């Protein structure tokens, strides 16, 4: 993977050791220099001022870092590496330490209206899990710092992550539109073996993850999981499509009923013939088949009519 990120290799001290040096050793050394080495008023003013300045600057180098956090180290505009260790540390106080979170985050995107493969307007939404994987790209390949500074005079970690989330939201919208436009909503208007948005859940979600990672790679962001969590026809055609689905369901049910009825009629004729219950010519078989089909396929209960004078025994 092509990346410009590398670990910070500058001077790093244990924070407690540095705090001891700043609070205890620095004042002792200053007092020693004032009273035992340069015992004069100008030296006292100079050393006291210098010690105070070093004290304040030294404290600025202290920071603590929790797990799954990182700091991008920048010295006068030059990238010096990414610090990922956990604990309490001291570094060069002149380093700009831009804090980032490497923890996973959720994004529940609102449903958007798109056209599927055959042009039907549909509403589709997704939920995804994302996290930062390349701090250099995240900070310097996209203008996240400017976006973060729009809300805060000083960009904080929360505002930076908010800026990244905004970037992810826009790109997920574009990826979702592209994926949704490649497939039909369901298989009622396409070949039965063709993948659809309703039927190809895992494949569609995997393709969505690939599309998102391809788009977000430039920002150093990785999508861990993405899936469609909302799918429906747009309101203007929902009623029409509902009737079409109902009609399709009725046709499918009728096919099953007719298939079962034919099987039952055949079984009845074979049973009558095999057990010599009655002899039927072709006309009577046709009439019997017609009556049985009407009875078995009708929506309403049949009203039987007993006719005992037409069969020759």
Say if residue 152's pLDDT is above 80.
no
What stretches of the chain show up as alpha helix (H) in DSSP?
A: 15-20, 26-32, 41-59, 135-140, 144-149, 157-180, 201-216, 235-274, 282-297
Most confident of 24-28, 137-141, 281-285: 137-141
d(CA 185, CA 188): 9
pLDDT (average), residues 119-143: 92
Helix, strand or coil, per DSSP, at residue 65: strand
Q: Tokens representing 53?
A: 């300045």
Is this model's pTM higher than 0.85 or not?
Answer: no
Cβ-contact 219, 138 below 8 angstroms: yes
Q: Tokens representing 289?
A: 């088949």
d(CA 151, CA 154): 9
d(CA 219, CA 173): 16
d(CA 105, CA 158): 12
Cβ-contact 60, 98 below 8 angstroms: no
Give the closest residue to 130 by CA, choosing from 1, 220, 205.
220
Within a 10 A sphere around the Cβ of 154, how many other Cβ atoms?
7
Q: How many Å separate Cα 311 from the centre of its chain?
A: 72
**pLDDT tens profile 66-89:** 999 999 999 999 999 999 999 999
Cβ-contact 196, 190 below 8 angstroms: yes
d(CA 211, CA 225): 12
Domain ranges of the chain: 12-99, 105-233, 248-297
**Contacts for 306 with CB less than 8 Å, ≥ 6 apart:** none
Give the closest residue to 209 by CA, choosing from 168, 181, 161.
168
Say if residue 142's pLDDT is above 90.
no
Looking at residue 273, its pLDDT comes to: 73
Q: Which fold has domain 105-233?
A: Tetrahydropterin Synthase; Chain A (3.30.479)
């Amino acid at each position: 993977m092509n990346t410009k990120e590398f670990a910070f290799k500058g001077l790093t001290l244990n924070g407690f050791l540095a705090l001891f040096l700043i609070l205890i050793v620095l004042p002792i050394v200053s007092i020693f220099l004032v009273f035992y080495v340069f015992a004069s008023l100008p030296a006292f003013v100079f050393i006291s001022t210098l010690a105070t300045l070093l004290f304040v600057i030294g404290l600025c180098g202290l920071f603590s870092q929790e797990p799954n956090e990182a700091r991008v180290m920048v010295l006068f505009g030059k990238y010096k590496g990414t610090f990922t260790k956990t604990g309490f540390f001291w570094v060069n106080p002149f380093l700009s330490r831009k804090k980032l979170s490497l923890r996973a985050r959720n994004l529940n995107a609102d449903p958007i209206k798109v056209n599927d493969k055959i042009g039907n307007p549909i509403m589709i939404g997704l939920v995804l899990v994302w996290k930062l994987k390349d701090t250099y790209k995240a900070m310097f390949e996209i203008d996240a710092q400017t976006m973060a500074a729009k809300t805060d005079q000083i960009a904080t970690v929360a505002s930076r992550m908010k800026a990244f989330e905004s970037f992810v939201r826009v790109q997920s919208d574009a990826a979702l539109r592209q994926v949704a436009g490649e497939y039909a909503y369901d298989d009622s208007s396409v070949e039965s073996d063709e993948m659809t948005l309703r039927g190809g859940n895992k494949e569609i979600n995997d393709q969505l993850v690939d599309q998102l990672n391809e788009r977000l790679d430039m920002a150093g962001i990785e999508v861990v999981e993405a899936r469609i969590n909302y799918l429906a026809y747009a309101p203007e055609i929902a009623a029409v499509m509902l009737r079409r689905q109902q009609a399709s369901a009725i046709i499918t049910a009728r096919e099953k009923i007719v298939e079962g009825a034919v099987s039952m009629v055949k079984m009845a004729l074979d049973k009558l013939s095999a057990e010599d219950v009655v002899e039927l010519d072709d006309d009577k078989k046709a009439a019997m088949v017609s009556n049985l089909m009407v009875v078995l396929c009708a929506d309403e209960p049949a009203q039987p009519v007993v006719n005992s004078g037409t069969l020759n025994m």
